[in-house]
A and B are shown apart, each in its own frame.
Chain A
């Protein structure tokens, strides 16, 4: 049996490296589209300032992108290094979208990103614009395939257990790709990426406006980011709601945990705005509830009940008992007793095999599980509620805060009066971290809410690891933490330096830091930049 320490360390390593990777991904998703929009405007209008915008924001994008690529390498190989049993057990399904991601998306994005940075003089305007759009398309396609893979972990459709190979095998590729969970998650996630890119450009542009620097450049960047950001944040919120509906359909435990819904209440269920979930007592103290709301979000109706955690634990308990039967039959099949009768019996209960595997955390052979161990496994079949409850609320709060910011930014930029609201520009600047807090808590909800499963109701997390020793993991975690910290410091240093420098870093001679200082020392002389207004 794998020790709990190895399982915990494997989970920590995965969480750290995945959350760290996702600091860079959303900005890439959003920036590639923003760059494509800016360059399109350049090609359509021929105005130099839009080319400068594409190149300058492209420079910042590049600093971020390098780390996205770096940390993405870890993700591609970590399933094999640290989740070997997972890789064996579901690789037949899960590996496919990962490989397709490489063939369909990464090649496209990565081949053309080189031409984006270095092809300005080697390609015609239209060719370069096409290259930029292909980079955006590639990065978004990669999000599609990785979310197909992740959606399958949440809601494993189109696959069946094969006792001959002792693993899950694909039955329908269409089901895998058209998994409703994956589709909803995809749009929700890429939209969150667009919001991240928009907040980034909006925040830094606000700083230029506050400093009164490179105004024509900053105003145009502000306007594009505000408009794109508003459209995106609306999409995030609408699809987040749709996501809630999908979760309500297929991941009842996650939904109930997010909402700290212990009891199945009479429909329509009310939404707990705030409260203090108590896992032991299975209740939520000091709950402030909004009537009807949860029933509407999760079931789109006023008469369908939302199942509470206590009932779900009970349902899981009976599935665990079924799972013991399935496990016994599976062992018989694997030892060669493959008569039709055994196969038929196994087919009846094999959907609960994963619940039988849950017992392997407490006992080597689930058939020998005691009543107390079955009870324990049922209690452990739901995730800890409080962290989910809170991180979900933080995510939603970030989303609505940004909705406000983008609405007001669009208003200011259409009126052309942004500089008259320095307090707001400051607010936008200091709100730059909001999208990151939102996406990180969002992923936490999605993946922690999946526990105790690596693959929903199929493969328990504790079984999924590699056969490693704790010291292997301590060394690798130390390596990741050390190197990722070092790289983060370098990245932030460069990012701040070039953001402060602004478009002057392009060395075109048109921007603030390159202007001659007037003899009286009262700021820059009118330079070519002013002609751009």
Chain B
């Protein structure tokens, strides 16, 4: 196999995509479950069945998030530096919200007090809703380009503020993200929670899948109208040292949608997103929870990949100085680091998938209200 710099840069774009999809499919599932929890669980025990379906898995799921962060640091240090410091308030808000999940899961049922439990239920709800919203908003803004530039020593400076992120397209993407993860969590509830909860989840999934379908299509049409996009004017040498200042970029409203014309195979992603969202609704209608869970995972993969394909090869376009944009060719770490991290990922990811699957298989069963009553002190 020829692992030259150019190939590795492309591989790392795929791998970061895989990690982000892995995060949305696993951690997104328990975020979605907790977004639905206050609405679908009517009694304390019903809510506990919902929490306990994810009790053995939330921590492992969350590592997809942490590892995606670490992998972006290792493979795209400039993106890690620019995006996280640029979206400072949004990142902090997400972090503060995420604080309430680990403690919420572990502490909620440790006391019998109903006010205590109710407070933690809303903490879990907020701790899941806010990150889902912010991640969507972040993607919505990346598609539009964000205002940053580099100085001579490559120090990034971001000139926007938090409120500017909440523009119409950003909010559309944010709501799509919430609906998508809630739909995904709903299919998990159909498969694993108490029967009464599962039935309510089924109705929610049908509605949410349709919302996802509409919002995703709307997001695509918006791009079609040619509002945002960036195009590289100069010739890119994929094997050159990564230096984002060495290229010419112009804003071009049809660049994103044009990507799909230049690479017709890219159409697979939006088609997958739309088709599988529809199938999720049908499967929920037909009471097929396990298949619905798989199809909603594919919906997530389709939606995230669509955003990645639209921006290809951009990762973080700059609306302030387009030529300072970060792309998968010029924002990466060195050849050696990409190579080492590639081998680590190639060895470790299959092992991780294997034992994660084992953990899910071992714990797979429907948790009923009776199970909660019988194990009130051992379960969450």
- B344: chain A residues at CB < 8 Å are 99-100, 103-104
Task: Please name 9 further chain A to chain B contacts, defined as beta carbons within 8 Å, in addition to the given A117-B56, A164-B241, sorted by A numbering.
Answer: A77-B69, A80-B69, A85-B153, A88-B77, A102-B69, A114-B59, A118-B56, A468-B88, A472-B89
A118 and B379 contact, CB distance less than 8 A: yes
A–B pairs, 24, beta carbons within 8 Å? A62-B106, A70-B99, A79-B80, A80-B69, A81-B85, A85-B81, A85-B153, A91-B77, A96-B340, A101-B70, A102-B71, A104-B348, A107-B67, A107-B352, A108-B355, A113-B60, A162-B334, A166-B154, A167-B77, A170-B334, A331-B152, A467-B85, A490-B107, A506-B377
- A494-520: contact bitstring with B at CB < 8 Å (1 yes, 0 no)? 100010000001110000000000000
Tell me, rounded to whole Å, the shortest Cβ–Cβ distance linking B202 to chain A. Answer: 25
Chain B residues with CB under 8 A of A302: none
Find out whether the CB atom of B349 lies under 8 angstroms from the CB atom of A114.
no
**Contact status of A80 and B334, CB under 8 A, knowing A114-B60, A115-B363:** no
- Which positions in B face A, CB cutoff 8 Å? 52, 55-60, 62-63, 66-67, 69-71, 73-75, 77-78, 80-85, 88-89, 91-92, 95-96, 98-99, 101-103, 105-107, 110-111, 152-158, 241-243, 333-334, 336-337, 340-341, 344-345, 348-349, 352, 355-356, 359, 362-363, 377-379
The answer to whether A92 and B333 touch across the interface, beta carbons within 8 angstroms, is: yes
Given A87-B81, A490-B103, do A103 and B348 touch, yes or no (CB 8 Å)?
Answer: yes
Q: How many A-B residue pairs have CB under 8 A?
A: 243
Residues of A within 8 A of B155 (CB): 84-85, 88, 467
| Cβ < 8 Å to B, chain A residues 242-267 | none
Chain A residue nearest in CB terms to B103: A66
- Are B67 and A99 neighbours in the complex by a CB distance under 8 Å? yes
Contact mask for chain A residues 114-142; partner B; CB cutoff 8 A; 1 contact, 0 none:
11011110110000000000000000000
Contact of B74 among A99, A113, A479, A506 (CB under 8 A): A99
- Could you say which residues of chain A place their CB within 8 Å of the CB of B71? 99, 102
Q: In the complex the two chains form, is A117's CB within 8 Å of B77's CB?
A: no
Write out the residue numbers on chain A whose beta carbons fall within 8 Å of the beta carbon of B101: 70
Q: A166-B153, A483-B99 are in contact. Are A114 and B337 (CB under 8 A)?
A: no
Per a CB cutoff under 8 Å, which of A65, A94, A106, A472 touches B63? A106
Q: In the assembly, what is the distance between CA of A77 and CA of B110, in Å? A: 30
**A82 and B85 contacting across the interface, CB-CB below 8 Å:** yes
Q: Measured between C-beta atoms, what is the minimum distance from B27 to chain A in Å?
A: 11
Q: Name the CB-closest residue of B to A127.
A: B362
**A177 shortest CB reach to chain B, Å:** 10
Hey, which chain B residues are within 8 Å of A98, CB to CB? Answer: 70, 73-74
Chain B residues, Cβ within 8 Å of A84: 81-82, 84-85, 155-156
Q: A99-B74, A107-B63, A120-B378 are in contact. Are A114 and B56 (CB under 8 A)?
A: yes
Decide: B66 and A106 in contact? CB cutoff 8 A: yes
The CA-CA distance from A367 to B64 in the complex, in Å, is 46
A476 to B336, CA, bound (A): 36
Q: Does A165 sit within 8 A of B, measured CB to CB?
A: yes
Known contacts: A77-B69, A114-B359, A466-B88. The answer to whether A67 contacts B102 by CB under 8 A is yes
Q: Is the CB of B348 within 8 A of A165?
A: no
| Interface contact A119-B362, CB-CB below 8 Å | yes
Cβ < 8 Å to B, chain A residues 388-421 = none
Residues of A within 8 A of B105 (CB): 66
Tell which of B62, B80, B84, B103 touches A67, judged by Cβ atoms closer than 8 Å: B103
Tell me whether A467 and B156 are in contact (CB under 8 A): yes
Nearest Cβ on chain A to B88's Cβ, whole angstroms: 6
A470 within 8 A of B: no
Assess whether A289 is interfacial by the CB under 8 Å rule. no
Instruction: State A122–B253 Cα separation when bound (angstroms).
Output: 55
* Cross-chain contact A111 with B356 (CB below 8 angstroms): yes
Q: A118-B379, A505-B377 are in contact. Are A81 and B96 (CB under 8 A)?
A: no
Q: How far is the CA of A378 from the CA of B74 in the complex (A)?
A: 33
Kindly state whether residue A95 has any CB partner on chain B within 8 Å. yes
A66 touches B85 (CB 8 A): no
What is the CB-to-nearest-CB distance from B328 to chain A, in angstroms, rounded to a whole number? Answer: 15
Contacting pair A95 B70 (CB below 8 A): yes
With A66-B107, A84-B81, A106-B66 in contact, is A122–B99 under 8 Å at CB? no
CB distance from B165 to the nearest CB of A (A): 14
- Residue in contact with A69 in the complex, picked from B62, B89, B352, CB distance below 8 Å: B62
Question: Which residues of the other chain, A, contact B75 by a CB distance below 8 angstroms?
Answer: 95, 99
A93, CB-defined interface residue at 8 Å: yes
**Is B96 within 8 A of A494, CB to CB?**
no
A103 touches B102 (CB 8 A): no
Chain A contacts for B359, CB-based, 8 A: 111-112, 114-115
Contact B107 A63 (CB under 8 A): yes
A95: which of B73, B96, B153 is its contact (CB, 8 Å)? B73
Q: Is the CB of B349 within 8 A of A103?
A: yes
- Return the chain A residue nearest B68 by Cβ: A102
Contacts of A498 in B (CB 8 A): 110
CA distance A216 to B348 in the complex (A): 43
